[in-house]
Each structure stands twice: as C-alpha cells, then as structure tokens.
Structure 1
Amino acid sequence: MLGVRGRGGAVPEGRDEGRDEERHEPVVLSVVIPMYNEEEALPALVSRLRPVLTELGVAHEVVAVDDGSGDRTAELLGAFRLGWPELRVVALRRNSGHQAALTAGLDRALGAYVVSLDADLQDPPEKIPDMLALARAENLDIVYGVRADRSSDSGFKRWTAGVYYRLMRRLAGPSVPAQAGDFRLLSRAAVDALKALPDQQRVYRLLVPWLGFPSGRVTYERAPRTAGRTKYPLGRMIRLAVDSVTGFSAAPLRLATWLGAGAFVVCLALLVYTLAAFALGRTVPGWTSLFTGIVFIGAVQLICVGLLGEYVGRIYTAVQNRPTYFVRDDTATPTTPEPAQGSAAAASTRAAGGAADVPRVPVPRA
C-alpha cells in the first residue's frame, strides 16, 4: 500500500515520513552572501552566522555566491557544506561584480524572507533575528540595516560615504535611507518585484527604496573588516557612484545643458572684451583671455561628451541584453544546473521542464 508522494515518487507506508516532510519544509529565511576571495574571512563568518540561524528555530538556507574567486574560497565552502546541510553554494563562472553576485543569490533564494549580507562581518549577522522579528511584527517587506556608527571606517571613507548618500537622496529622492548599504531583509514579494525589473546594471541600495514597499530600520555599529582586504577600493566606489547617478537620474544631462549655457555666456563676454580690445588697439594682450576661453570651452565640451557617453553606454548594454552572470554550479541542483540569467538556453530549459526545483529567473525585456 502506498502513502505520501514525495519528489522521488510514492513512499511506502511505514517509512519515516516525518523526516521526509521536515526535509522539504518550506524555507522561511534565506541568507544571501556574495563573496570574492574571502578565504580568510570565511571561518569567522561561519562561526558567527551559524549559531544565529540555529537559534532562530526556523527553516533556513545560506546561499553563498562564489563570484569567481581565485583563492581557496570555493574549497572552504565545499568543506563547510559537509557539516552544514543548510549551506548552499552558487558558483559563478567568472568574476561578475558584487551587485551581479547579489543578483544571482536573490534570483535563486527560496525563502519567504531573504537577507543579504557581506562576508567581511562589518555588518553583524546577530542583527538578523531583529530584522526578521520587526518584519513579522509590523508586516514590513523591507528592513534596512542602517549604520549608526561608522567610527571603524577611515575619515576619507566616512566623508565619501556621506557625500554619496547626500547626492543619492537629492537625485533619487528622500526614500533612500542614509548610511544603508546592502545589509537588508526583503520579503518574497519584494524579491519577486526586483526579479521582474529589466535593469542589468543594478544598484540595490537605490533599486530597493524605489520599489516603495513598507520598510523599517535596524541600527547597528559598523565593525572593522574581520580579515582580508576590502573588495571596494576607490575605483569601484567611483564606478558605483557613476552607475548610481546615471541609472537613476537624468540630472547629469541637464548639468551638461547648463554647462553649455554657461560656456555660451562666457563666450559672449569674451566677444565683448575682444571687440573692446580691438577698438582700443590692444589686441596682443588679449591672447591670455583667448587662450583661457578656448581651454574652458574645450573642457566643457569634453565633460558634456563624457556624460552623454555614459548614458549611450548604458543604452548599448541594454540593447546587447547579455546575461548579468553565468552560473557554473549550484549545489541545490547538481545534475541540472540552470543556464545563465536571461539566456535563450534558460528559456528552452524551462520550456522543456528542466530544473523544476530552481526558482524562475525572468528574461530581461529588450
């Protein structure tokens, strides 16, 4: 006589069905951790994160996204999986960047709530229970981790972060929380809304507030990096700022217009000065002002062309419609890994019924 039907078919009566049901219990909480060359920080991360999730007492998973690491990160993750069944490893084929790795984790997370966390432990995993409790108590879709104290950061880092958040709040609106990075909790509704967006160059600290879901905040003191070197040097910080501005505002284009208008006014003033100098017979001394005017106009033109180039580059990337990332392996689906996000192979695999247990990744609209 047959009893409960599981994924593998009918289960005969008399077997321990309770353990099978527990194994397929819906995931309440997913913790997504993008990581790149974090072999030094991994032991400390596991030693702090695992007890926190165990004490929560809810079904959970940890989605570690290996963003093409060149050190022993993948090897250590495989070793930790042997004694930690809730750990799931998604390995990308190449280094795609922090936001792309975060996208891969959000696309594949199964939990009713999803927390994004960096591996450097500057954002404390001990705040995850507070986030989950606040979301449940007040029926919130988003809970931000807000850095109330950044004294562990350098003065330059604090200054640049302050400028960045003030600029983003001015361009993208006051809904952008100040001093909130990528440490946040999202409900399943918020995650599905993010997955439906066609954006390819994503900046989640601006995209998430843009959704407009009910939100709350949990504050904490930002700690020093536990080990290793920062993965956000000055160059990547500048790139993040440029992507943030060009992805959420057309203000730079209007700035180019105002620069052009200012240059036109300067040209009129120089024209009046030149005519006056010519009338007074003092044309040679005007060489300095002429040279200055030419340099100024040339600089304004280059700035305007550069700003236009940033937007044209974003249009070019959108028209190419290339996948944000390529997945090499997902330990949750070892036999049938899902093709890359947005690819034709992914669509054909889903049409054929492959990778049925993997959450659907939407194809970006061209």
Structure 2
Amino acid sequence: MIPFSPPFINQDIIDEVVDSLESGWITTGPKVKLLEQEISKFVSVPNVLCINSWTSGAIMILKWLGVEEGDEVIIPSYTYSATALAVIHAGAKPVMVDVGTDFNISVKAVEQAITPRTKAIMPVDFAGFPCDYDALNALVRKEEIKGKFNPSSEVQRTLNRILLISDAAHSLGATYKENRIGKTADITIFSLHAVKNVTTAEGGAIVINMPEPFNNEDLYAEMRRMSLNCQTKDALSKSKAGGWRYDIVGLGLKINMPDINAALGLGQMRIYDELLEKRKYVFNRYVDFFSKFEWAIIPPHKDETRESSYHIFSLRIADFGEEQRDAVITDAANNGVALNVHFIPMPLLTFFKGLGYDIDNHPNAYNNFKNEISLPIYPQLTDEQIDTVCNVVKEAHNAALASNV
C-alpha cells in the first residue's frame, strides 16, 4: 500500500526529539522558541507564536480581536470544518461564501457578504495555493467598506477596519508576489498537524503582521501570555529558583506548544527548502502525466504572482459525479494506492446543515468537491511509487467510466 500522507521523519528529527527528552524539559521552552525563530526566518516576519493547533490559534486571535455574539466572520464554504468551528467557539457567526474554480474564496462573494457586523475575513489557501491577497487587502481598506465597519472592542477601534486572517493551514512555503505566505495578511495561521508539510504531530504557528500603530513585538508577548492562561510567567521562568510568583492578567487559554512537539518541527524546518523541492518534484510528475488526458483537470499551482506549497494534489475528473469519483478511490485502494478527498463542503455536513447552511448557495464548492481526488504527495515517494499512483488512478478512472457507475 502506498499511504496517503505519512510524516517525514529522519534520524536528525528523531535525534532532536530525543534531545528534548534527555534535557528533561518537554513542555514549552527553548525548542519552541527555536522553532518560532526558524519559521520567522523562513517567512521573513519577525514575530511568530507557536501554539498547540491551528484551531486553538484561530480561536485565540478572534477572542483577542474581541468578537462577540452577533459578530460575523466571512469564510469559504469549501474548507475543513475547523475554519468555521473556530469562529463559533470564539463566539461569532461564520458567514460562508462560495469559492472559485481555483478552490479559493471568491472575493466578489466576500464583498457581497460584508455587513456592519463583519469583524474579520478568513480566506483559505486551498491545497497550498494562495488566495488573491491584493484584492482582499484592497477590499478591507476600501473606504466604502471601512464606512460599514462598526468596532466594538479596543483592538477593533485601533485597527478601524475588518481584520484579514489568512487560514494558511496548507500554505507554509507558498509564495505570493515573491513573498512567502505570512506577509500577505494581518494575521497568518499555519497548521503543523501530522499530515502537513511541516509537522509537530499537533500544532500551529501564528504570524503576527499587524499594521501601525500596533507594535508586533508587544503583541507577540501579549499573545504568548494569552496562550498560557494570561499568566505573567511561563513554566521555564517559574522553574528557576525563587521564581514561583506570578499573576493572571486576563482571560486566557491553555494552548501552548510543548518542546517535545516543537522538536519534530524544528528538525523539519531546518531542511524545509529541500523537502519543499521534493514535494514540487512529485507534483510536477503528476502534472506531466495527467496533462495528457482530457478528463484530468490539473489543480492550480503556479501563475505569474503565486506559487503553491504543493501540499495537496487535488485532481478533478471532468464529468464525474460523486459515485464515479468514489468508485475511483475504492478501485485505487484495492490496487494499493490510498487516495483522499479535500474537502466535503461544510454545508453538506450534518452540524452545519442543522445551523441552516445550504449547499445550493455554494454551487462552485459542490462542483469542485463532487469529482475531486487527492493524490499522495510527500518527499519520501520514489519514482516507481509515483508511476504506480499515476497508472492506478488512470486505470481506476477507465474502470469507473466503463462500468457507468
């Protein structure tokens, strides 16, 4: 079986984790700080905070923004459920809008959805391919849109416009106009989950890129405290002789990343340029193979302003519906290749249907989903395995077509 997305773990990464264990320091400490520095250097943004998941990071940012009941956050309907669940857990309402054929949020749909209750927009870089950040940044700064903004917290009054949060769960390493994702929004949140390009098993990283008059170094310190229950000393500081006294200065969360997790990501970040090139190699091999077939719709991955992180190869099969797509996945599994689907649009999920979201309002999201299959893409794949994936998918497509499922 060729698995879908195993983590990349070599001896150097194992040694980094063992070093953390042998140090006796396994919760938030020096390795977390080193990982923050590595990500900061990689994206060329000075202030990066590591937390225990993308989801908890998004919840914390929205709570820091000061959202409350009745406030709205605009998100795409075609993403993993965490994008919406974070908004709900923070106390606001997710406003789902449709996407384009590139899988990313429709800027036109975003503009139409903005109301005086809109406090943030959270686009998703689907599969690692960046959204149209120029258009989104121009939108939140448009005088007509700023005129609708109704601030209800000190942070909102200081910003005096809608906050742009990049859901960059997939896009660590992607570029937009020669800048790595991280510089493209006010706040960017990466996922470091087990299946991501860089993993800490579970984890995330918040890139703080707020405009003046915000001081991003001060914000880092504030958010670091907030991730530790708003405690004025972290565990490392408290452990020093005589350093036991602390204070609680606000309503925080407990979402810090442990050192033992950071060690995994640290080992990967140090060679991430190399890992990214290998992912790109696999992606381009798929492009070369499937471009020969009229039925294969190649996923967007590079244009004049954007380049993907090559996180997912989202192949679409022209004229297929869900049953035929599912038959391809089953056939491939029977022949030793694990495929996946990204994602089930949220309005199709029971919880969100119960809240009143309707897939009929998201035709592009459904059309993207109904015939999408995600192919294995990771640095460990050999040329022989890539060839196997290509041929198995081709034969599975032909079989589904012939059986007229």
Rg bigger for which structure?
1
Higher helix share: 1
Higher strand share: 1
Q: TM-score, normalised by structure 1?
A: 0.27
Q: TM-score, normalised by structure 2?
A: 0.25
